[in-house]
Chain A
Amino acid sequence: EAGVTQSPTHLIKTRGQQVTLRCSPISGHTSVYWYQQALGLGLQFLLWYDEGEERNRGNFPPRFSGRQFPNYSSELNVNALELEDSALYLCASSSFTGEGTYNEQFFGPGTRLTVL
């Protein structure tokens, strides 16, 4: 069974540009989570999608947005890139089955974004 996949692996952008990152969850998983991991730092929760809807959002500005498609894959969009957006962006999926579910998240390999 395929794990969580992310594309691209690496990305280099300049300040002010826009970027789109992609994630495909494990088959059967309906929830997709996005995290930002800046160099040497922990994981900061960005967004959570389930069944096509945004379920929760971390403390990030509105220029971080995303969506989930009917096949449960997801995109993370970052507008007006800033230098501090340079980080590893991790996507995870889980089989969320409603409130009260605490399933573990399975992570993809990440997309390393460098903003120059």
Chain B
Amino acid sequence: AQKVTQAQTEISVVEKEDVTLDCVYETRDTTYYLFWYKQPPSGELVFLIRRNSFDEQNEISGRYSWNFQKSTSSFNFTITASQVVDSAVYFCALTYNYGQNFVFGPGTRLSVLP
């Protein structure tokens, strides 16, 4: 079965702490894409990153970084020096079958306390 697991339901950290959100996926396809989205309290999902199955390079964007490891089927997301504005639900998602199927993980609710 094709699925995305985000084992951490809720995480609370204090501002300026680093935090890693885990994402583990399952797919039989060799070509697939992985995504991270942020859903702030307003409800609108914000696209953060897209990564294809052939590119295992880690990526850094400001305080955000992503670690993709095919060997463990993981695509983890780290926020460095977290801020209160990072408080949101974060979703990991998988697209497969030539882009025709998509599945979202259950999400991780991150609370950053001042």
Shortest beta-carbon distance, A112 to chain B, in Å?
A: 8
Q: Which chain A residues border B44 with CB–CB below 8 Å?
A: 107-110
- Which stretch from A12-20, A41-49, A67-75, A77-85 is at the chain B interface? A41-49
Q: A42-B104, A104-B50 are in contact. Are A99 and B45 (CB under 8 A)?
A: no
Query: B99 within 8 Å of A by Cβ?
Result: yes
- Chain A nearest CB from B84 CB (Å) reads 22
User: Total interface residues on B, using CB and 8 Å?
Assistant: 25
Interface string of A26-58 (1 = CB under 8 A from B): 000000010100000111010010000001100
Rounded to whole angstroms, the CA-CA distance of A92 and B102 in the bound complex is 12
Q: Could you tell me if A99 and B103 are in contact, using CB atoms closer than 8 angstroms?
A: no
Chain A residue with the shortest CB-CB distance to B104: A43
Given A56-B101, A96-B99, A110-B43, does the pair A102, B91 have CB atoms closer than 8 Å? Answer: no
Are the CB atoms of A102 and B52 closer together than 8 Å? yes
Is the CB–CB distance between B45 and A107 below 8 Å? yes
In the complex, A56 Cα to B102 Cα: how many Å? 10
Interface residues in B36-54 (C-beta closer than 8 Å to A) = 37, 42-47, 50, 52
> What is the bound-complex CA distance between A89 and B42, given in angstroms?
14
Verify if A65 is at the interface (C-beta below 8 Å from B). no
User: Footprint of B on A, CB under 8 Å?
Assistant: 33, 35, 41-43, 45, 48, 55-56, 88, 90, 92, 96, 99-110, 112
Binding site for A on B (CB under 8 A): 31-33, 35, 37, 42-47, 50, 52, 91, 95, 98-107
